[in-house]
Amino acid sequence: MLGVKKIKTLSWVSLLMAGIAVGISATQAGPLERIDLSKSPEGPNGNAAQPAGNIAINSDEAAAIKNKNYKAALVWHASGDWVNAVTEGAKTKFEELGIEVVATTDAQFDSARQASDVENVLALNPDIILTLVIDPVSGGAAFKPAVDKGTELVLLSNPIAGYKPNSEYTGIVTDDMYGMGVAAAEMMSDAIGGTGKIGFIYHDASYFITNNRDNAFRTAIQEKHADVEIVSGKGFTEEGQTFELASAMVLQNPDLKGIYVAWDVAAEGVIEALRAQGRSDVKVITHDLGQNNALDMIKQGNMYGTVADRPYEIGQAMAMLGVYGLLDKESPAFSVVGYDKVTRDNLAVTWEKSLRRPIPKKLSDALQ
């Protein structure tokens, strides 16, 4: 998901600590774990994933919410196209139900700033808070005043250490992590003609979303694509490291046909490294949408394709879980949205489907 990019190195350390504190299950044990693709992803508390599309209320429940002057606040970790799409999804759903959004904040991946944002928005007395918690350890203290006040807390992707669904928070909404990893493996096989050697550049820190997507890709290649072989795996903790990792990977394995990278911005360094070495033959697969790599895809460069989630739908589902809390209705603990395989051929359509906005003019012009 795009929300992961540009996170500070300090936060990776915090997330590693959080993984230990939360009590990681097999579905979230960190990088380089083999997973059981026959099972649905599990949430931080072992809850099986449920489709976010199942989150709904009936007309009587909607009537019970409208005209009650309920308020909501969106306490985000960052800003950008992906977060904007989540925000628009949530605001649209809240508007349908007469719930006023009184604040939208951007912590710029600073956990201390996010704690301050929580304090500030609580002065506005929101009945619902939607958030992606930057640091699942310190986040427990940061959001405790909201919990103590009875505010309905809904989480995006990251858990909070010690918090339980339908208790301190209503539920979590996130990607279909296994599905996205499997789809990326399918795209890699397509990109290299179903056979050949590939590189695997993964996120080498304990981080719930990226670990599960990376692990699902790796497991799917090993179990479902017998003629595709991962001959080199290198981990990174900062996006800026991927240029050197990819450069070394290609030099050490000149017969590579493809490289998987954990997410879009990290893949930019890989594309740059391949260009520097004149390796236009090596195809890249990643997750999420970004303009730079999309332009390379349009020009039929190294970027073959990506797997994009649906942030607008995430926002709508989160808003509905907040409403579940107001209704004292039991929430699904862990819900996931769908995804789309994105190539040059369907880029314009899937860009709008994912982000709910037209593809940027620079990209649409390049597609002509």
Computed over every residue of the chain, the mean pLDDT equals 91
Over range 97-115, report the average pLDDT.
Answer: 96
* Domain-wise residue ranges, the chain: 2-176+311-338, 177-310+341-367
pLDDT digits (tens, 9 = 90+) for 242-272: 999 999 999 999 999 999 999 999 999 999 9
Q: Do domains 2-176+311-338 and 177-310+341-367 have the same CATH topology?
A: yes
- Identify the pLDDT of residue 77: 92
What pLDDT sits at residue 304? 98
Domain 2-176+311-338 part of CATH 3.40.50.2300:
yes
- Name the band, by pLDDT with cuts 50, 70 and 90, for residue 1: low
pLDDT band at 8 (very low <50, low <70, confident <90, very high): very low
pLDDT band at 306 (very low <50, low <70, confident <90, very high): very high
pLDDT at residue 207 tops 90: no
The whole-model pTM stands at: 0.85
- Of 18-27, 71-80, 310-319, 351-360, the poorest mean pLDDT is in 18-27
pLDDT recorded at residue 17: 29
The more confidently predicted of residues 135 and 221 is 221
Q: HEC string of the chain?
A: CHHHCCCCHHHHHHHHHHHHHHCCCHHHCCCCCCCCCCCCCECCCCCECEEHHHCCCCHHHHHHHCCCCCEEEEEECCCCHHHHHHHHHHHHHHHHCCCEEEEEEECCCCHHHHHHHHHHHHCCCCCEEEECCCCCCCHHHHHHHHHHCCCEEEEECCCCCCCCECCCECCEEEECHHHHHHHHHHHHHHHCCCCEEEEEEEECCCCHHHHHHHHHHHHHHHHHCCCEEEEEEEEECCHHHHHHHHHHHHHHCCCEEEEEECCHHHHHHHHHHHHHCCCCCCEEEEECCCHHHHHHHHCCCCEEEEEEECHHHHHHHHHHHHHHHHCCCCCCCEEEECEEEECHHHHHHHHHHHHCCCCCHHHHHHHC
At 361, give phi and psi (nearest 5°).
Answer: -60, -40
At 43-87, the pLDDT tens digits run 888 888 999 999 999 999 999 999 899 999 999 998 888 899 999
Span 168-179, average pLDDT: 96
**pLDDT at position 29, please?**
53
pLDDT at 268: 96
What CATH architecture is 177-310+341-367?
A: 3-Layer(aba) Sandwich (3.40)
